Amino acid sequence: MEDLVHFINYRSYALHNLHHIMQAERFSAEEKFEMEVVGNVLPFKTNNYVINELIDWDNVPNDPIFRLTFPHKDMLLPPHFDEMANALKKNLSKTELKAVANKIRMQLNPHSDGQMANNVPMLDGTKLTGIQHKYDQTVLFFPSQGQTCHAYCSFCFRWPQFVGMDEMKFAMKEGELLVDYVRKNKNVTDVLFTGGDPLIMKTKILAGYIDKLLDANIENLQTIRLGTKALGYWPYRFTMDDDADDLLILFEKVVAKGINLSIMAHFNHPVELSTNAVEVAIRRIRNTGAQIRTQSPVLRHINDSPDIWAEMWRRQVNLNCIPYYMFVTRDTGAQHYFAVPLVESWEIFRKAYQQVSGICRTVRGPSMSANPGKVQILGVSEITDEVVTKKIITLRFLQGRNKDWVAQPFFAEYNPDALWLDDLKPAFGNKFFFEEEFERKYNRSITDTDSINLQ
Ligand SMILES: *Cc1c(COP(=O)(O)O)cnc(C)c1O
Ligand code: SF4
């Protein structure tokens, strides 16, 4: 690691030790109180890399990474903010505060345990609680030791996990069960490790899972994916952490086995691709033969402009990463703060897409991970039948609960305010082509949320 001089230890910050951050001196007492109010409802955690290398403190509070990781007053609706503010002023006990927080959280569409249970497969009568399987080819695996992150994104839809509302319950011997499940389901080609962030795990623990998959010689297994924000929040995971070298050796081993290893890297803003540490980390990962694919939602206050996206994709490609998905922010937590309407998201996508060469256009989106599947907004058009002109939105499934739905265009009435699939009405007829089957087979409506989607 000739280009890195200092050894840096991971230091995590949350409300209780916020005053240890040198830069926190600049906050007024009122600002600190506002952070405390929001941070008591939504999870807050950041670290020394984010604070010292990513945030431009001269640009705070509008700095995108500050917005991404620090709590802000507007992330709670005024009545919720006031409720928690009053509770804090009353000096309630920890238990009482938690009760107030949970009451507010319940109103933020946290996805109940019942919903968590959907898509959890069975194997020989055992419920595989660390596995979720929605689309034919890809199984999601939630290793129990990977249920946190190096910092938290304030828009994250996994927030109920982090505040302990959705206790993820895991089976014993989950690694063996994963192997059995993939072996018995021949249509599964991909195993996607997710969390939290699976790279929060020590290499030894991760290797335990991956070695089991490799040693099992499963014929249908083609790709192992690691969904992670470590390149954005803690690139030292691949460079200077004491088990970084072992991690890269593990990557090499997967590749040598003839299995595609894809790091599904989450980047929200080009600044995350600007440090020496992330450059070195990416180069080291690429040297193992692993690929890096990138994804992010469109977020108000953070990346809601075409230029930011164009710059981000170009920078990713220059660093030999492959742009993969642009997502729509989900309907949970601080959605009112981060949400960008579907039509505007598509405009951002289109204007960014126009600025970059075909090499960057591997990206697909904007896509919403709705209950029936991943739905891409293809665009807005005007259609005329001589008498009337009508504006419509064309959509299609990138992934569907039923694979027959994939790549079939469908049409919704133009609605510039729509934030999600359930805000859209069919442009023709009174149901979307998949709706009846969806309701019948899955016994729910398209307005139900589904907590297991990836962003
Ligand atoms: C996005 C997603 C996947 C992976 O889909 P790809 O299009 O293959 O990247 C798998 N499972 C769920 C539940 C998802 O949301
Ligand atoms: S979006 Fe990913 S990295 Fe960010 S808090 Fe959620 S799980 Fe963690």
- Note the pLDDT of residue 454: 60
Q: How far is the CA of 453 from the centre of ligand 1 (A)?
A: 7
- The residues near 168 (Cβ < 8 Å, ≥ 6 apart) are 116, 129, 130, 142, 144, 147, 161
Show pLDDT as tens, one digit a residue, over the chain (455 residues): 445 545 689 999 999 998 888 888 889 999 999 999 999 999 999 999 999 999 999 999 999 999 999 999 999 999 999 999 999 999 899 999 999 999 999 998 886 333 455 678 888 888 888 899 999 999 999 998 888 999 999 988 888 888 877 766 655 568 889 999 999 999 999 999 998 999 999 999 999 999 999 999 999 999 999 999 999 999 999 999 999 999 999 999 999 999 999 999 999 999 999 999 999 999 999 999 999 999 999 999 999 999 999 999 999 999 999 999 999 998 778 888 999 999 999 999 999 999 999 999 999 999 999 999 999 999 999 999 888 999 999 999 999 999 999 999 999 999 999 999 999 999 999 999 999 999 988 766 666 656 555 65
3-state secondary structure of 343: helix
Q: How far is the CA of 89 from the centre of ligand 2 (A)?
A: 30
Q: Quick check: CB of 152 below 6 Å from ligand 2?
A: yes
Three-state SS letters, 270-315: HHHHCCHHHHHHHHHHHHCCCEEEEEEEECCCCCCCHHHHHHHHHH
Q: Which residues line ligand 1 (CB under 6 A)?
A: 134-135, 138, 140, 369, 374, 398-399, 452-454
For residue 29, what are its two tokens? Answer: 């007492």
Cα(314)–Cα(306) distance, integer angstroms: 12
User: How many Cβ atoms sit within 10 Å of the Cβ of residue 436?
Assistant: 10
Q: Do residues 227 and 454 lie in contact, with contact meaning Cβ atoms separated by under 8 Å?
A: yes
Protein residue closest via CA to atom 3 of ligand 2: 229
The closest ligand to the CA of 332 turns out to be 2
Q: Quick check: CB of 153 below 6 Å from ligand 2?
A: yes
User: How many Cβ atoms sit within 10 Å of the Cβ of residue 366?
Assistant: 26
The closest ligand to the CA of 194 turns out to be 2
Q: Is 398 exposed, middle or buried (0-12, 13-18, 19+ CB in 10 A)?
A: middle
Q: How far is the CA of 158 from the centre of ligand 2 (A)?
A: 7
User: How many Cβ atoms sit within 10 Å of the Cβ of residue 455?
Assistant: 20
Q: Domain locations in the chain? A: 2-105, 370-446
- Note the pLDDT of residue 328: 95
Pairing between β-strand 260-266 and β-strand 126-127 as defined by DSSP bridges: unpaired
Strand partners of residue 264: 227, 293
- Which residue from 135, 139, 294 has its CB within 8 A of the most atoms of ligand 1, so it is best to mutate? 135
Q: How far is the CA of 196 from the centre of ligand 2 (A)?
A: 6
Cα(330)–Cα(336) distance, integer angstroms: 10
Q: Residue 250: which H helix or E strand, with range?
A: helix 244-256
Q: Residue 203: which H helix or E strand, with range?
A: helix 203-215
For residue 402, what are its two tokens? Answer: 């039923």
Q: Do residues 338 and 301 lie in contact, with contact meaning Cβ atoms separated by under 8 Å?
A: yes
- Note the pLDDT of residue 163: 82
The closest ligand to the CA of 119 turns out to be 1
User: How many Cβ atoms sit within 10 Å of the Cβ of residue 445?
Assistant: 11
Nearest to 158 by CA among 236, 229, 55, 210: 229
Q: How far is the CA of 453 from the centre of ligand 2 (A)?
A: 13
- Helical pair 78-89 and 94-106, crossing angle rounded to 10 deg: 170
- Which residue from 149, 193, 226, 369 has its CB within 8 A of the most atoms of ligand 2, so it is best to mutate? 149
Cα(38)–Cα(252) distance, integer angstroms: 43
Q: Quick check: CB of 330 below 6 Å from ligand 2?
A: no
- Report the atom number in ligand 1 closest to the C-alpha of 325: 9
Cα(124)–Cα(139) distance, integer angstroms: 17
Protein residue closest via CA to atom 5 of ligand 2: 152
Q: How far is the CA of 75 from the centre of ligand 1 (A)?
A: 28
Cα(371)–Cα(280) distance, integer angstroms: 38
Q: Quick check: CB of 197 below 6 Å from ligand 2?
A: yes
